[in-house]
Structure 1
């Protein structure tokens, strides 16, 4: 498409090749850039982007209020990707990709049709259509959780999926997220990661603090009975199904237990295999490319993993909700 975005617009969509070309013209050497005043300011802005991605409440503002020149504001996007790549936590990478996609979507809502069409066209989506070929649709929606996106719930005619008003905007946001997360983590030279270590440590600490604020200190006595039963099965040498291992690992990962801590749970098994366990735990914890959430109570029942239900189980529909409930009860009693 024959559309030229000015610098103010490129700031809003730093993933576009035009935005990246602008930044490259002004940032030839990453080492030198990090040592400059502009680089230090861009790094601070990059840290702020990652911290903002951790927040459950997303607030976006006009990027023209930033003090950085456009090319360095765009560079802060690149530095944010470098920061999360150095940290290496897949869930953090997923959050940054989601944040940047939501940020771009926020600005697109206020754009005129030409810019909207150009940005969408740049990522392979035609905003003028109300239908998508089934193959394109299936590629776009696998990680959208709302049941309405399932192909069986769609209006499919002659190999195309019909879209409702506004759905193309949701698909644009999802497409941006998928593109960004597929590019990460970046292969960052060890020397760069070492130089950025003070910032990455600060981000990692902030991320851990957020988890603690959401779930608090890990309390095994507050675990839902289904999770406790699975852990007991491990201790007594039971042979857990893949879904059982997935449920334990994703639950523990979500409430803030690190990979070593999760492996220590599985180490209670008489036939513990460190190499095999670490591979499985790292994959389920997100190192394999996707951040997984624990299965709901309904899913646990479907797979025969719901055990020893108690009165508190009747009040929730997810193991994480049970965990929060029991921790709150214990806190009030203490």
Structure 2
């Protein structure tokens, strides 16, 4: 039997082809839509989606009772993707993808079995499966952090990976997240990004406030050994690799240093070039349109930048996690 989702069901899964077709029937011209009252409503809802993604809001149940028309709710999903694409911050893109995946997963968990199967099959996953082909499994789980997802920890028989109860739901959610991340950032026309500026500035300000609250006052004594080693290398006159410069700049920017403060770190080098340094620091810090996040511990090891490991390094998988950990330890001691 063919399944046809009604308008109220389509808003739960805005990434489906049917949902997007519904929105397109009501939005022929993006510019005209944004100038209209419905467009303003949809843009405000789009901002709410991005803010919810930033603040990890997971209160999805109330969305069923809202008065927004289905086509505008779906349009807000498209506009939210445009907003994060204009900002072009990879961490923000990742958060929106996770938020939308969590949202869809929330609704799927309580969905009619036939509709749940319909949506899952559109994602190329059998919701009733108890095994998954190794090739599909390996492709799907790289970003799932729990060690139980590693292939060496799974029961593999005849080319299939056995799944425990409830794991298929987690894999469906991960599939949605991966699809959305791969689609972003979108190529949004510069004129549309300019139109979005009042909204994107609000979002960027919120993100910066979050960083301030998350990391607080900069404590150099809490820097991970790899970052401290890079700073020492600069002072000693060592010519850092591109990845070394990228790692230290993106880390210092993320924990709250401004461009001038980061440039001061590089100014300790004997061959300091002010113009070149400012250009590189501004580019990595987001002045060029993309705000980069620091590389993970695994990436640092790959590029030979993981040095001076200590016991706290064993507890984390990212330099930022080390920094948070050491700051919290110092705070408790104080």
Range of TM-score over shorter length: 0.7 to 0.9
The aligned residue for residue 27 of structure 1 is 27
The aligned residue for residue 315 of structure 2 is 317
Q: Distance in 2 between matches of 1:82 and 1:19?
A: 17
Q: Distance in 1 between matches of 2:18 and 2:313?
A: 52
Q: Secondary structure at the match of 2:132?
A: strand
The aligned residue for residue 53 of structure 1 is 53
The aligned residue for residue 187 of structure 1 is 187
Which segment drifts farther, 54-63 or 157-166? 54-63
1:48-86 deviation line (CA, Å, top 9, x unaligned): 000000014533224222221000011000000010111
CA drift of 1:103 comes to 0.7
Cα RMSD, aligned residues only: 3.6
The aligned residue for residue 306 of structure 1 is 308
Q: 1:306 to 1:185 in 2, by over 3 A?
A: same
Q: Distance in 2 between matches of 1:325 and 1:45?
A: 36
Q: Distance in 1 between matches of 2:166 and 2:124?
A: 17
Q: Distance in 2 between matches of 1:315 and 1:190?
A: 42
Q: 1:12 to 1:89 in 2, by over 3 A?
A: same
1:182-238 deviation line (CA, Å, top 9, x unaligned): 111111111111111000001000111111111124343543454223211122123
Q: Distance in 1 between matches of 2:196 and 2:84?
A: 11
Mapping for residues 90-239 of structure 1, pairs under 5 Å: 90-238=90-238
CA drift of 1:303 comes to 7.0
1:13 matched to 2:13? The reply is yes
The aligned residue for residue 295 of structure 1 is 297
The aligned residue for residue 73 of structure 1 is 73
Unmatched 5+ residue regions in structure 2?
A: none
Report if aligned partners of 2:46, 2:76 keep a CA contact under 8 Å in 1.
yes
Q: TM-score, normalised by structure 1?
A: 0.83
CA drift of 1:243 comes to 7.7
Q: TM-score, normalised by structure 2?
A: 0.83
Q: How many residues align?
A: 324
Q: Distance in 2 between matches of 1:289 and 1:156?
A: 40
CA drift of 1:260 comes to 8.3
Q: Distance in 1 between matches of 2:232 and 2:170?
A: 43
Report if aligned partners of 2:284, 2:291 keep a CA contact under 8 Å in 1.
no
1:225-274 deviation line (CA, Å, top 9, x unaligned): 54223211122123557886675356435424578876774565456795
Report if aligned partners of 2:50, 2:96 keep a CA contact under 8 Å in 1.
yes
Report if aligned partners of 1:247, 1:295 keep a CA contact under 8 Å in 2.
no
Q: Distance in 1 between matches of 2:107 and 2:262?
A: 40
Report if aligned partners of 1:222, 1:323 keep a CA contact under 8 Å in 2.
yes
The aligned residue for residue 36 of structure 1 is 36
